[in-house]
């Protein structure tokens, strides 16, 4: 069954802040920090799992297996990327059912053509609007739990302009999408135009992307209902790891600040292991 908490947050008008998680360690850290929603992106999870680019290479099975583990370990509802649905409409219906069964809270589907590209790459191509409308209708019809949210993403802005992206968002809302995701707005003025069209809008705060990174209060003021920060934890982790590797190669040591190993062991559940061993050794 789907996690109902995300829909309830949306219903109450609570802003949904969803940082990216890209493996089980970052999921544990998000739990520890107390985040109330997280985002499992295709880019970062496939990079972490397979070391491959976000270019339509990974399969439905790669995605759903990874995301099911994250949903199992996450204390917060998980928003999950599903690219274009991994094939035709029948594949999409199977994807929706699989994501819902995995315990995810929301599925994100986009209007790109296959093979998809990173939405901030500048080389995205989109299918005709009518084709994406059918994708949304199939997705809504394929869910069995009304708490499972359908997020419709349009990548029309870079190639076709903002007016076309907004026209598509309106059509996707009419087709039944719960949250609208106009990818890659160029500035705050465009972001405000997006939110003025009505509906629940989500924005991608992708560090290194085309959209300016704004603090949450500014996003709320613009009218967004949700924001994902998919890249921030991954890029921070990669920066620290790259420095550690370089330091070790150059000087044989590193002076980087370290996450406490005892805290890491606790986070991974070694306390429960010790408790179990002590209990049964005493029998």
Give the tens place of pLDDT for each residue, 87-112: 999 999 999 999 999 999 999 999 99
What are 233-263's pLDDT values in tens digits? 999 999 999 999 999 999 999 999 999 999 9
What are the structural domains of the chain? 5-238 (3.20.20.60)
Is the pLDDT assigned to residue 271 strictly greater than 60? yes
Measured between alpha carbons, how far is 251 from 147 in angstroms, rounded to an integer?
54
Q: What is the mean pLDDT of residues 139-148?
A: 98
Q: Is the peptide bond before 121 cis (omega within 30 degrees of 0)?
A: no
How is the beta sheet containing 106-110 ordered, strand by strand?
A: 38-40, 78-81, 106-110, 149-154, 179-182
Q: What is the pLDDT of residue 283?
A: 75
pTM: 0.95
Contacts of 140 (CB under 8 A, 6+ apart): 150, 175, 176, 177
Give the whole-angstrom CA distance, residue 61 versus residue 81.
13
């Amino acid at each position: 069954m789907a996690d109902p908490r995300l829909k309830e947050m949306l219903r109450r008008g609570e802003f949904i802040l969803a940082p990216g998680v890209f493996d089980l360690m970052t999921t544990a850290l998000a739990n520890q920090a107390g985040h109330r929603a997280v985002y499992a992106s295709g880019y970062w999870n496939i990079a972490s799992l397979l070391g491959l680019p976000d270019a339509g290479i990974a399969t439905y099975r790669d995605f759903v297996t990874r995301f099911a583990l994250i949903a199992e370990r996450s204390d917060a509802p998980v928003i999950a990327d599903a690219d274009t649905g991994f094939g035709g409409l029948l594949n999409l219906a199977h994807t929706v059912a699989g994501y819902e069964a995995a315990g995810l809270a929301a599925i994100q589907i986009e209007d790109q053509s296959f093979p998809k590209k990173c939405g901030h790459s500048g080389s995205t191509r989109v299918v005709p609007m009518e084709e994406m409308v059918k994708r949304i209708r199939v997705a809504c019809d394929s869910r069995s739990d009304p708490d499972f949210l359908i997020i419709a993403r349009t990548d029309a802005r870079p190639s076709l302009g903002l007016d076309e992206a907004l026209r598509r968002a309106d059509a996707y809302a009419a087709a039944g999408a719960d949250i609208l995701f106009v990818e890659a707005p160029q500035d705050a003025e465009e972001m405000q135009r997006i939110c003025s069209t009505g509906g629940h809008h989500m924005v991608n705060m992708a560090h290194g992307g085309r959209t300016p990174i704004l603090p949450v209060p500014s996003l709320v003021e613009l009218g967004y209902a949700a924001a994902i920060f998919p890249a921030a934890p991954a890029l921070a982790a990669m920066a620290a790891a790259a420095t550690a590797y370089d330091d070790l190669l150059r000087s044989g040591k590193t002076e980087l600040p370290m996450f406490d190993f005892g805290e890491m062991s606790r986070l991974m559940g070694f306390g429960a292991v010790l408790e179990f061993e002590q209990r049964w050794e005493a029998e």
